[in-house]
Amino acid sequence: MRLSFASILLVLISVALTPLHAQQNKPVTIILLRHAEKELTGKDPALTEKGKQRAQRLKTTLAAWKPDLFYSTATTRTMQTLTPLATQYGKPIQTYSAADQHTFAQLLKQQAGKTIVVVGHSNTIPQLVNVITGKDTYTDLPDDEFGRIFIVTIANGEVSVSVKQY
């Protein structure tokens, strides 16, 4: 059987595009949380002992999700919150700027098939959840609340959010 150049080209394009289409249908899970308890002094405070213990608990709390990517703002407290978890998976922590929520949300939503953990602040994490979902549902977290986790799943164009404590 002899195939024309156009037929071969059509088959090659079809094969090349199939993984791209399949990848777009894979869900993305974005796990967002505020940093753990911080010291109350200094411009860029570290975690307290209680905060360090909470950061360690993330390893068991998020074990079922097997995260692929890790993002943190460039502050000491957010990096210290995420470090034990990222280290457990042997992955680097990438920094992001909370100043451009829309661009960052688009980047996160394009990570089909991935599970991503994002650590930020009491006023940025709820806003980022709102930007990702396209709804104005969540408000800033109270200053004394550190254990809330937002789990955003995007599958087949549908967005769902669950909230848990750790």
Domain spans of the chain?
Answer: 26-165
Check pLDDT > 90 for residue 18. Answer: no
CA dist 151 and 52 (Å) reads 22
Assigned CATH topology for domain 26-165: Rossmann fold (3.40.50)
* pLDDT tens per residue across span 56-83: 999 999 999 999 999 999 999 999 999 9
Q: Using only the alpha carbons of the chain, give its radius of gyration.
A: 19
CA dist 35 and 84 (Å) reads 13
Asked if 32 and 125 touch (Cβ cutoff 8 Å), the reply is yes
The predicted model scores a pTM of 0.85
* pLDDT tens per residue across span 133-165: 999 999 999 999 999 999 999 999 899 999 999
